[in-house]
């Protein structure tokens, strides 16, 4: 369809030029070739010749323009609708400014340059207006929202803060589905399109482990969408000027004024530095682990030996590691132990204990 429109344009352009300037060319040739003066419909003949010549002679230019327009169309389709709207407004403002700038200088005679000056100003200011409006759209929105009452602003911020943006790692982890099912997380879950693309790349990986992790993440998303009662939205926009997925997540959280849900330690720190609210699943898991104090009694099954001599290792139901002094000889059996100390590390909580029978013997 685009190619037909371009061909029709060149057809009409060639016909118009032939109709306008063809008779003068015919008179010039007639003075040398003596073609005759009574040819009827010279303008129509030259118009047909001009249309044919332009249609056949500009086939390469037609293909070039078609490819250029299609690339521009594909790029516009990938842009979020907000970028397109703000870019269009910026383009219109740029063209208006170009027209107003040209008015004072249109009467000034500028050789050669004067003929192309309107086109140059229109292209330059239109391009600048489109780019500036897209890049500064957030600031433009905030500028227009200054006139609202504080009550409306607070309601908007409260509603926006209910958006929870999921990153790739927390989707693959899978615990987010169970947390959402309990009802502890409210609001709308936002799944960015670039996160879905990353999951698909992982699921298509040649590495078996990565492929299984990617497919698990897609299954978790399917479960969240179909089984949970929470509202789930797919954010189709992208930030092409940003390459890293983590940086895109931070940018999206700023645009939507939402919170990022992750279990990635590095992304957690980046969000804190950028002033973005973050919910870390690992922090939640550590917070809900049962509190164990020195002197408490526990029943634990010793399953392997520890790093130090005579130590045995066991685990609570929530996965907390218990290091039992002198527990190596009790591997494979349940043992009553007394908690001696609790150590909180970046990897989680670690409990040190000793067999209760040793305490009785003392």
Q: Are 193 and 167 a contacting pair, CB within 8 Å?
A: no
Task: Give me the residue label for tokens 């009409």.
Answer: 12
Answer yes or no: are the C-beta atoms of 205 and 214 closer than 8 Å.
yes
Distances (CA, A) of 185 to 44, 164, 180, 287: 75, 9, 6, 15
Q: For residue 298, give the nearest of 344, 348, 345, 359 by alpha carbon.
A: 359
Q: What is the pLDDT of residues 78-131, one digit of tens each?
A: 777 777 788 888 888 888 888 888 777 777 666 655 666 777 778 888 888 888
If we measure between CA atoms, which residue out of 340, 353, 351, 344 comes closest to residue 287? 344
In the CATH scheme, what is the homologous superfamily, with its name and number, of domain 164-286? 5'-nuclease (3.40.50.1010)
Nearest to 66 by CA among 122, 15, 7: 7
Which phi and psi (to 5°) does residue 236 adopt?
-85, -15
Kindly report, residue by residue over 211-270, the tens digit of the pLDDT. Answer: 888 888 888 888 888 887 778 888 887 787 788 888 888 888 888 888 888 888 888 888
Do 164-286 and 297-361 agree at the fold level? no
> Residue 241 carries which DSSP code?
T
pLDDT tens-place string over residues 255-288: 888 888 888 888 888 888 888 888 888 878 777 7
Return d(Cα 23, Cα 12) in angstroms, integer. 17
So where are the chain's domains? 1-78, 79-147, 164-286, 297-361
Domain covering 297-361 in this structure, CATH number: 2.40.50.140
């Amino acid at each position: 369809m685009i190619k037909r429109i371009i061909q029709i344009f060149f057809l009409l352009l060639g016909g118009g030029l032939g109709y306008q300037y063809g008779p003068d060319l015919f008179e010039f040739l007639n003075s040398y070739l003596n073609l005759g003066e009574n040819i009827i419909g010279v303008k129509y003949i030259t118009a047909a010749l001009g249309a044919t010549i332009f249609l056949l002679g500009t086939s390469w230019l037609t293909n070039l323009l078609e490819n250029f327009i299609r690339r521009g169309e594909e790029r516009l389709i990938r842009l979020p609708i907000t970028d397109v709207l703000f870019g269009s407004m910026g383009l219109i403002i740029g063209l208006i400014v170009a027209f107003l700038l040209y008015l004072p200088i249109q009467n000034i005679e500028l050789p050669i340059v004067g003929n192309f000056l309107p086109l140059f100003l229109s292209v330059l200011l239109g391009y600048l207006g489109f780019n500036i409006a897209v890049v500064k759209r957030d600031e433009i929105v905030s500028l227009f929202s200054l006139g609202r009452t504080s009550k409306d602003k607070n309601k908007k911020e409260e509603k926006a803060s209910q958006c929870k943006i999921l990153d790739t790692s927390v989707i693959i982890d899978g615990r987010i589905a169970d947390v959402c099912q309990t009802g502890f997380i409210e609001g709308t879950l936002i799944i960015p399109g670039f996160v879905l693309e990353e999951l698909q790349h992982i699921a298509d990986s040649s590495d078996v482990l990565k492929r299984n992790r990617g497919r698990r993440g897609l299954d978790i998303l399917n479960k969240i969408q179909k089984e949970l009662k929470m509202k789930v939205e797919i954010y189709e926009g992208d930030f092409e000027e940003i390459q890293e997925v983590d940086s895109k997540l931070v940018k999206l959280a700023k645009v939507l004024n939402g919170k990022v849900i992750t279990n990635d330690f590095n992304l957690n720190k980046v969000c804190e530095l950028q002033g973005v609210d973050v919910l870390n699943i690992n922090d939640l898991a550590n917070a809900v682990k049962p509190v164990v104090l020195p002197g408490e009694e526990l029943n634990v099954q010793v399953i392997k030996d520890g790093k130090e001599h005579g130590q045995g290792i066991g685990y609570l139901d929530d996965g907390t590691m218990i290091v039992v002094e002198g527990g190596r000889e009790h591997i494979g059996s349940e043992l009553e132990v007394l908690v001696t100390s609790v150590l909180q590390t970046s990897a989680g909580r670690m409990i040190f204990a000793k067999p209760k029978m040793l305490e009785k013997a003392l």
